Structure 1
Amino acid sequence: MAATAQRSGPATDTGCCVTPVATPLSPSDAEATARVFKALGDPARLRLIALIAASETGEACTCDLTDPVGLSQGTVSHHMKILAEAGLVTREQRGKWAHYAINRTAFASVAAALSL
């Protein structure tokens, strides 16, 4: 199934195709957005995000995430590091445990990127 891309804004007609006047995504923005989508491209990370988002407090400790996803603490920490580096979660160290919260601004940016 082929997807049809829609472009907004002015375009120039070069005869055989329509070329956008401005690039909708700069190279650096494209790289950052790709990093976010790559982080979201793993089922375990999607489950971790969902667990944090569904928590009553809006945050979760690493120790609370291991059993629901069936992964070791080290593996959960690795996935959470990737999500934090992509800017999707914030991390706060409390004693020996890390606590994570959803970065709602980052998810708003993801939604905006999908609406291009």
Structure 2
Amino acid sequence: MEKIAVVFQSLDDVTRLRILALLLKESELCVCDLVAVLQLPQSTVSRHLSLLKNSGWLTDRRHGLWIYYSINRSLAPVQQFLVPVLVNFVSSSQTAKDDLDRLENLSRGNCCA
């Protein structure tokens, strides 16, 4: 029961929902790209990424100095159940659409090249 509570608590923040919406559309994003799209300080984005990773939503990989995040391919059953719900509702929000537009217009990878 505690693991389910952690999963739901991890969704109780607009920034974390925005991150998940972006990563559900993109296979992988660098922290610097997320900072640029979300227009938030790196420390804030990193804190939310850490919480999402610790709750099982995300995995990361290090490439030199940069860390890239993606949706965990081994999600818990409750998370697997929630993914279509997130895709349907979160990505249809105007905020998520604005984030995806910023991502599309971003010169991606320039900060971590």
Q: Give the TM interval when normalised to the shorter protein.
A: 0.5 to 0.7
Q: Report the structure number with the largest CA radius of gyration.
A: 1
**For residues 61 and 37 of structure 1, what CA distance do their matches in structure 2 show?**
25
Percent identity between matched residues is 38
Q: CA RMSD in A?
A: 1.6
In structure 1, what is the equivalent of residue 45 of structure 2? 76
Q: What secondary structure is seen at the aligned counterpart in 1 of 2:75? A: helix
Counterpart Cα distance in 1 of 2:2 and 2:75: 15
Shift of 1:105: 3.4
CA distance in 2 between partners of 1:36 and 1:84 (Å): 11
TM-aligned CA distance change 1:107 to 1:51, over 3 Å: farther
Give 1:88 shift.
0.3
**Which runs of structure 2 are paired with 1:1-116 in the superposition (5 Å)?**
30-55=1-26, 58-106=27-75, 108-110=77-79, 111=81
1:70 positional shift: 1.4
**1:59-110 Cα deviation digits (max 9, x unpaired):** 1100110121111111111100000000100011111111111014326432
Greater fraction strand: 1
> Which deviations, in whole Å up to 9, do the C-alpha atoms of 1:13-61 show, x marking residues without a partner?
xxxxxxxxxxxxxxxxx10111111111111000011111212xx0110
The two structures have a TM-score, normalised by structure 1, of 0.64
Q: 2:111 maps to what in 1?
A: none
Distance 1:41 1:72 in 2: 20
TM-score by length of 2: 0.66
The unaligned stretches of length 5 or more in structure 1 are: 1-29
Higher relative contact order (CA 8 A, sep 6+): 2
